[in-house]
Amino acid sequence: GGNAGGGSGGAGAGGGKLRLAFVVNMPAEFWTIAEHGVNAAAAEVDVDVSFHVPAGGLVEQQKRILEDLVVKGVDGIAVSPRDAENMTGLLDKLVQHTLLITHDSDAPQSKRLAYVGMANYDAGRMCGKLVKSALPDGGKIVILVGTLDQDNAKGRRQGVIDELFGRSYDPTRFDAQGAKLAGGGYEVLTTYTTESQPQKCKANTQDALVRWPDIGCFVGLFEYEPPAILEAVRSAKRLGEVKIVGFDENDATLQGILDGHIVGTVVQNPYEYGRQSIKLLAKLASESDPEKRAALLPEGGFLDIPARSITAANVDEFWADLKQKTGR
Amino acid sequence: MATVLEVRGVTKAFPGVVALEDVEFAVDAGEVVALIGENGAGKSTLMKVLAGVHRPDVGEVRLDSKPVTFHRPADALRQGIALIHQELELCENLTVAGALFLGAELRRGPFLRSREMAVRAREVTARLGLDVDPDRLVETLAPGQQQLLEIARALRADARVLIMDEPTSSLTQRETERLLAVVDELRAAGVAIVYISHRLGEVQQIADRVVALRDGKNSGSCAGSDASHDRLVAMMVGREVGSSDRQPHEPGDVALAVRGLATTAYPAHAIDFTVRRGEIVGIAGLLGAGRTEVLRALFGADPRAAGVVEVAGVALDREGPEAAIAAGLALVPEDRKREGLVLPMTVAQNVALPTLRRRGRWLDRAYERDLTDRAIGELGIATAGGSQVAGTLSGGNQQKIVLAKWLAADPVVLLLDEPTRGVDVGARAEIHDRLHELAGDGLAVLFVSSEMEEILTLADRALVMHEGRLAGELGRDELSEAAILRLAVGSV
Amino acid sequence: MKKILGLSLLIFVIALVTSLLTIDDAGRSLFLSGLNLENLATRVGLFGVLSLAAAFVIVTGGIDLSIGSVVCVAGCMLPWTLRDLGLPGVLGLLFVLAVTGLIGLFHGLLVVRLRLQPFVVTLCGLLLYRGVMRALAGDQSVGFRGTGEDLRWLATGRLPLFEGFGLPVPLLVLGLVGGFTAVLWHRTVAGRQLFALGHNLEAARLAGVPTGRLTILAYVMCSLLAGLGGCLFVLDVNSAQAASFGNFYELYAIAGAVLGGTALRGGEGQVLGIVLGASLMQLLSNAINLVADSNQLEFAIVGAVILIGAAVDEGLRRYLARRG
Amino acid sequence: MKKILGLSLLIFVIALVTSLLTIDDAGRSLFLSGLNLENLATRVGLFGVLSLAAAFVIVTGGIDLSIGSVVCVAGCMLPWTLRDLGLPGVLGLLFVLAVTGLIGLFHGLLVVRLRLQPFVVTLCGLLLYRGVMRALAGDQSVGFRGTGEDLRWLATGRLPLFEGFGLPVPLLVLGLVGGFTAVLWHRTVAGRQLFALGHNLEAARLAGVPTGRLTILAYVMCSLLAGLGGCLFVLDVNSAQAASFGNFYELYAIAGAVLGGTALRGGEGQVLGIVLGASLMQLLSNAINLVADSNQLEFAIVGAVILIGAAVDEGLRRYLARRG
Ligand SMILES: Nc1ncnc2c1ncn2[C@@H]1O[C@H](COP(=O)(O)OP(=O)(O)OP(=O)(O)O)[C@@H](O)[C@H]1O
Ligand SMILES: Nc1ncnc2c1ncn2[C@@H]1O[C@H](COP(=O)(O)OP(=O)(O)OP(=O)(O)O)[C@@H](O)[C@H]1O
Ligand SMILES: [Mg+2]
Ligand SMILES: [Mg+2]
């Protein structure tokens, strides 16, 4: 089946619309926002885009999807690799058949053309700043994260820790989950993994509140976590006294900020991940000469879509914009 | 008296076999009809048609002279037709009272009236001489007791028509007498009764009328008063059944020596005995005397509480059936359905199971086939062929399969627990002959039987058990019904 | 009975050890603090309902793998009925329970009328319901947005018993469900017949038991209780994501039932044992959170403790059997 | 036999429909392209091995819920033995297989000697092994870092058959494993005895079948094959993450076996059916990826198709039984 002509970029040749694919790493609300961006771009530049979610969030499932897309002969793929380091070989194979870029999570060693997104480590440091603002005099902190085996999770967590402890900028550092961590007046008591289950996140938070009554702040790094933490703190009747810092833009998180129960959240811009990825792919596919195509790439192959801190100060404006973009 | 239940022109076929062909059958109120026939003649199938388990392919069932169609057993039950199945069908996780009233619980709204059921359970079981606590779990009852419970269940239903499919096959004489007395009472009360048995003595004793089936067809009937043994056999078999006169053979060396054996059911009683090559030894006793336990402990099916078992002078060093079989033991167990057969497997697979391994690691299908053909021929097993699923054979034929697989194992000592349970008269005589023949060749046989007649005709010597201990031993010339009974009830 | 004894003993030992290990500077045990006991009791209530759900079907000799997905259905539907349909709390709850009950009816009919294997039917259910909910919710998380406040009491309420400890309402719910189940199983005709058919379907049928209707009833009860559990879960955490909500809960549910002495071959089960089985898993994870440095080894420890517990239980049983 | 017929028919229909729906502008079917058939055959090979693993234990009337975690153990250990221990490829593979075989032995001993329920033992295994691997790997993903190139052929190799299509080596592996299994089950005494004990343990024991040893053998074979599957999976995707690698695969494995006609009550199973059962699920997800605009409904469709397939199969069987 040598019908995957994307490698030579001859998209317009067949006469039909360009066919692009957007592949994410697991089912999550985060990606539904990206899907809106994808659709917006598809309308803007008039291409067909399909959207793919590995239902169990497994590397193996993502691999199947990518293989099948090659068979399908799509003109370009934007993927958020589930395990960048070890998927390099696979990604390099894809490059032979189609145009490939990464988004959200990069695979720098691979031959992908570009990366659209931000650095999770940087976002983590941003999150750390929020914690510092909540606990200016230091304090005890518990971090909750879905799983620790994903690059984005590791980066975020390390960013928070490094920022709190005032360490140097080093995205490759890794502190083990069970290690006792302290520095700069802050103490990270433990990191809980919550396995995509809000119920477990709530239980872990409750147990931490029992175990460390003097805890100062919870940090929830996955989208479903800040709301679950909020529920746990509420059930212990310690709202306001125990600080909460979050990640991503779950409705309940934003409401928590409005209500003053959550200090702030760090949001990426999934809408733009989706939109910019598709626009970039469409642009690349319209040019069949590799030389000229290279000129269309963003500088350093990195299209930066920075994260933002959302606090009581800017939550209204952000939320309104989000609602408008996603039509919620 | 009026005909209550009848079938007209019933035909019922299963894949590969026509079980019933144009059969007529009727039973009146206050009448006991005995149904007889060889194994696989179609008796159980006919009764299942009457009780709504099977629907006939052709023909009709009439109740009070009106055609009826039973879609499921519950329909027949509701019309007052109760069937005691040949094979035990009990929910053993229930209590005695629970099992007794299953499907017809005494209720107050949705709730159980447990106390009333326990009281009534005691009455019904007492009537049959089954003396057990109504709160005891069914799984802790011995098979004979479970059979009495099945009978009690049918009595409890106060049925108009009571069908009993070999109710006495695992009962001893005492319980049988009692049951027959109850049947008499029911007859007097106007119940229509169908009674199936291979024990022709019972048939003669109880039947008002005898109906015979042969190969799924009616093959004669006669009044109970005319039912001589020979006539019954002629109706069933259509030929002479000769019982060869046997020559007691000279016993050889000790094949089986049991010393200080105590079972887990009766750990306090130690038992000693020996069986010689060429000897056929029977174990008699009342229901629950511990006979089955002795055989099972011997064979290693259950752990032994104490004691040594020697086969041909060598003590069994390991426990478990594997070691016992390796040493030359073989056991035909009491409960063929659960312990004797792998019901979903074919006849051939079952027959060859214990001996396959001797032919090497690879499956030897030719051996399997030969063995099965030989068994089918020798024991007269009625089957569509070696590839019939064992579970679809008639009860008696299943029993023959269990026998066949162990006869093929060529053991030093053959242990048999109720060896001819449910086997028809003709086949039983043949099995007895075969056992004698094998004993003549040096096989040692130790068997348990609840049937007095089988002990008397088959055994060279009898051990009698009473409540877990060996109450006595009777040589060939001391063997008599009276002597056995005296020891069995413990009055020495 | 012995199962319950062994399980209680195991739970007692773990609770004792945890109590001792969590004594703080003031000499009070964190584990025994009112707050922690309330938290733990809530979780036992939530997961206990699911284990009872699983047991209903296991008792018939079947299995229900779709429990987690039915939890997902209820968890996503409840906020939706309240928020978008605008139903008042109680009506919304009843509506969701009716839907999950229908799911159970569907399972029961497939198992009884079409004689499909329960494993296949409910495995397909596992895939189907979650898949449909994901499509309906479009992978967005579904929250109450302020509705359902009247119902939240069911999951987060406390009945103040004494200073510092209120009885969590979910435990009360479990008590009611458990009491109802115990009465149904052991005091009614239907329960007696349910256990009978679980042990020997053919024998029960021959005795005139309406095996089909009862089996269907069991599947309905199972999905209904799973639905109730799902409602409680979502009320507890306030929002649900179709892709992950209730994921894997069928295993927890079945595990609780089996640990509590429910035999997978059918015909055996006791409410108390099942509740204890469900409690054991919650207790372990609570203990790990209170004692360990991180919860990385949580699953490993839960697995090891249950295995050792089962082995010791069996060893003890045999020792006792040999002695008496 | 009828099971296999129904399943083949279902597979054929799905394949046909997908072929027609994926015809591109040049008039060629994408589904039938060599590349796609290679991909699909590889996946069937990988998952087929797991279903055979599951079937070994199911045939004895048991169940193994730990398959996914054993896949995780093998998947994490193989890179580690090659990379950190520096073992040569084949030795590393044998080492990993030995470890997983020992896991099976452990299960078998617990089930046979201590008479623990297979469900409990392997559920604990599910939790335990993954938990331990997570701790050992410290939640880092484990990759080969360039080692193991000689082994990768096992998972990604193709034997060129004709222009544009090479037989994937995993399918060949499945062929070998399947052939071995078929011979063991249906041509040896041990196989006959295994099936007999699956149907009726007590009768088999009294017939002198070494039930204990054979049951243990079945558990060893199961974990061994799951380990082999895990090695193939990690060689295929090149890395393993302890927290998620092989997650849920026990369900896929058991589902494949059960769809293929293996009865959960034991004593029944056919290699061809099991392989077809495993193929069905892979085929469906491939078809959805090729045809649909998004795979959001994948699970829902898989669930619905299997359910409808099972119902039609049963309906057909009954219709045929009534006619013939
Ligand atoms: N479900 C079934 N499938 C196939 N064949 C069957 C089935 N049930 C009974 N048969 C066959 O029907 C015939 C009659 O069996 P049935 O059980 O009625 O005999 P029976 O007269 O009761 O014999 P027995 O004295 O041994 O109990 C036998 O050949 C048996 O193999
Ligand atoms: N599983 C069990 N649990 C408890 N008691 C049992 C069990 N099985 C048998 N018994 C008891 O052990 C005693 C011996 O039973 P056994 O079956 O050996 O008697 P038997 O002489 O062979 O009588 P049967 O004619 O019933 O076979 C009986 O009192 C019986 O009630
Ligand atoms: Mg019969
Ligand atoms: Mg006996």
Residue A8: pLDDT above 50?
Answer: no
With respect to residue B291, please indicate whether it lies within any of the assigned structural domains: yes
Q: What is the pLDDT of residue A328?
A: 66
Q: Of A55, C270, C44, A161, which Cα lies nearest the Cα of D300? A: A55
With respect to residue B479, please indicate whether it lies within any of the assigned structural domains: yes
What is the pairing mode between strands D141-143 and A302-304? unpaired
For B359, counting Cβ atoms within 10 Å of its Cβ (0-12 exposed, 13-18 middle, 19+ buried), the class is middle
* CA-B450 nearest atom, ligand 2: 25
Mean pLDDT of the region B399-412 = 93
Q: What is the pLDDT of residue D48?
A: 97
Segments forming the whole domain that contains residue B429: 254-488
The answer to whether residues C64 and C111 touch, using CB atoms and an 8 Å cutoff, is no
Residue A4: pLDDT above 70?
Answer: no
Q: What is the pLDDT of residue A10?
A: 41
With respect to residue D4, please indicate whether it lies within any of the assigned structural domains: no
With respect to residue C24, please indicate whether it lies within any of the assigned structural domains: no
Question: Which residue, B181, B202, B237, sits at the end of a domain?
Answer: B237
Instruction: Name the residue of chain D whose CA is nearest to C125's CA.
Output: D303
Segments forming the whole domain that contains residue C76: 32-250
With respect to residue C298, please indicate whether it lies within any of the assigned structural domains: no
Q: What is the pLDDT of residue D150?
A: 85
Token duo for residue A45: 């530049």
Residue B362: pLDDT above 90?
Answer: yes
The pLDDT confidence band at residue A13, using thresholds 50, 70 and 90, is very low
Secondary structure (3-state) at D317: helix
| Structure confidence by residue, pLDDT tens digits, C154-172 | 998 899 888 878 999 999 9
The pLDDT confidence band at residue A2, using thresholds 50, 70 and 90, is very low
| Structure confidence by residue, pLDDT tens digits, C21-73 | 999 888 899 999 998 999 999 999 999 999 999 999 999 999 999 999 999 99
Residue D57: pLDDT above 60?
Answer: yes
The pLDDT confidence band at residue B243, using thresholds 50, 70 and 90, is low
Beta bridge partners of B256: B275, B311
Mean pLDDT of the region B394-407 = 93
Chain D residues near residue A85 by CB distance under 8 angstroms:
141, 143, 239
Q: Specify the DSSP element, H or E, that contains D201.
A: helix D201-206
With respect to residue C305, please indicate whether it lies within any of the assigned structural domains: no
The secondary structure of residue B380, as a DSSP letter, is T
The pLDDT confidence band at residue B4, using thresholds 50, 70 and 90, is very high
Asked if residue B175 and residue B142 are part of one domain, the reply reads: yes
Q: What is the pLDDT of residue A294?
A: 87
Alpha helix locations (H) across chain A?
29-45, 59-72, 84-95, 120-134, 151-165, 198-211, 225-235, 251-259, 270-285, 290-296, 315-326
Give the closest ligand to the alpha carbon of residue B41: 1
With respect to residue D312, please indicate whether it lies within any of the assigned structural domains: no
Mean pLDDT of the region A40-56 = 91
D210 — contact with chain B (CB < 8 Å)? Answer: yes
What ipTM describes this predicted complex? 0.90
Residue A1: pLDDT above 60?
Answer: no
- Within 8 A by CB and 6+ apart from A25, the residues are A54, A57, A62, A80, A81, A82, A104, A105, A150
**Interatomic CA distance for residues B19 and C161, integer angstroms:** 71
Q: What is the pLDDT of residue B13?
A: 94
Is the Cβ pair C139, A53 closer than 8 Å?
A: yes
Q: What is the pLDDT of residue D11?
A: 94
Asked if residue B348 and residue B283 are part of one domain, the reply reads: yes
Q: What is the pLDDT of residue A15?
A: 54
The pLDDT confidence band at residue A14, using thresholds 50, 70 and 90, is very low
Q: Model's pTM, two decimal places?
A: 0.91
Distances (CA, A) of A300 to C11, D48, D80: 59, 44, 34
Secondary structure (3-state) at A138: coil
Instruction: Name the residue of chain C whose CA is nearest to B154's CA.
Output: C207
D209 — contact with chain B (CB < 8 Å)? Answer: yes
Chain C window 238-297: which residues touch B at a Cβ cutoff of 8 Å? 267-268
| Structure confidence by residue, pLDDT tens digits, D70-90 | 999 999 999 999 988 888 889
Residue A325: pLDDT above 90?
Answer: no
With respect to residue B243, please indicate whether it lies within any of the assigned structural domains: no
Beta bridge partners of B34: B195, B210
Q: What is the pLDDT of residue A12?
A: 42
With respect to residue C322, please indicate whether it lies within any of the assigned structural domains: no
Mean pLDDT of the region B246-251 = 73
Is the Cβ pair A178, C294 closer than 8 Å?
A: yes
**Interatomic CA distance for residues A269 and A104, integer angstroms:** 9
The pLDDT confidence band at residue D165, using thresholds 50, 70 and 90, is confident
Question: Which residue, B209, B237, B265, sits at the end of a domain?
Answer: B237
With respect to residue D315, please indicate whether it lies within any of the assigned structural domains: no
- In this structure, of B177-191, C250-264, D226-240, D308-322, the range with the lowest mean pLDDT score is D308-322
Question: Which one-letter amino acid corresponds to residue D45?
Answer: G
Residue B333: pLDDT above 70?
Answer: yes
Q: What is the pLDDT of residue A60?
A: 83
Asked if residue B345 and residue B220 are part of one domain, the reply reads: no
**Mutation test of the interface with chain C: which of B47, B77, B102, B304, choosing the one with the most C Cβ atoms within 10 A?**
B102
Token duo for residue C199: 């042990």
Instruction: Name the residue of chain A whose CA is nearest to C155's CA.
Output: A235
- Within 8 A by CB and 6+ apart from C84, the residues are none
Number of domains in chain B: 2
Residue D2: pLDDT above 80?
Answer: no
The nearest CA of chain D is from the CA of B26 a distance in Å of 30
Is the Cβ pair D135, C304 closer than 8 Å?
A: no
Give the closest ligand to the alpha carbon of residue B198: 1
DSSP conformation letters of A166-235: T----TT----TT--EEETTEEEEEEEE-TT-HHHHHHHHHHHHHH-TT--EEEE-STTHHHHHHHHHHH
Axis crossing angle, helix C67-83 with helix C34-59, rounded to the nearest 10: 120
The answer to whether residues B138 and B56 touch, using CB atoms and an 8 Å cutoff, is no
Question: Which residue, B173, B205, B237, sits at the end of a domain?
Answer: B237
Q: What is the pLDDT of residue D321?
A: 74
CATH number, domain of B194, equals 3.40.50.300
Per-position pLDDT tens, chain C of length 324: 567 888 999 999 999 999 999 998 888 999 999 989 999 999 999 999 999 999 999 999 999 999 999 999 999 999 999 988 888 889 999 999 999 999 999 999 999 999 999 999 999 999 999 999 988 887 778 888 878 888 999 998 899 888 878 999 999 999 999 999 999 999 999 999 999 999 999 999 999 999 999 999 999 999 999 999 999 999 998 888 888 899 889 999 999 999 998 988 899 999 999 999 999 999 999 999 898 877 788 889 989 998 998 888 888 878 877 765
Alpha helix locations (H) across B90-206?
96-100, 114-127, 143-156, 173-188, 200-206
Number of domains in chain C: 1
With respect to residue D276, please indicate whether it lies within any of the assigned structural domains: no
Q: What is the pLDDT of residue C51?
A: 97
Pocket test for ligand 2, best of B149, B266, B291 (most atoms within 8 A of CB): B291
Instruction: Find the CB nearest B93 among C187, C195, C208.
Output: C195
- In the block, tokens 């302890």 appear at D242
Asked if residue B259 and residue B113 are part of one domain, the reply reads: no
The secondary structure of residue B248, as a DSSP letter, is P
Residue D243: pLDDT above 90?
Answer: no
The pLDDT confidence band at residue B51, using thresholds 50, 70 and 90, is very high
| Structure confidence by residue, pLDDT tens digits, B99-152 | 999 999 999 999 999 999 999 999 999 988 888 999 999 999 988 889 999 999
The secondary structure of residue B336, as a DSSP letter, is I
Chain A residues near residue C233 by CB distance under 8 angstroms:
199
The pLDDT confidence band at residue B448, using thresholds 50, 70 and 90, is very high
What is the pairing mode between strands A217-220 and C141-143? unpaired
Ligand 1 binding pocket (C-beta < 6 A) is B 14, 17, 19, 37, 39-45, 86, 382, 392-397, 422, 424
Q: What is the pLDDT of residue A5?
A: 37
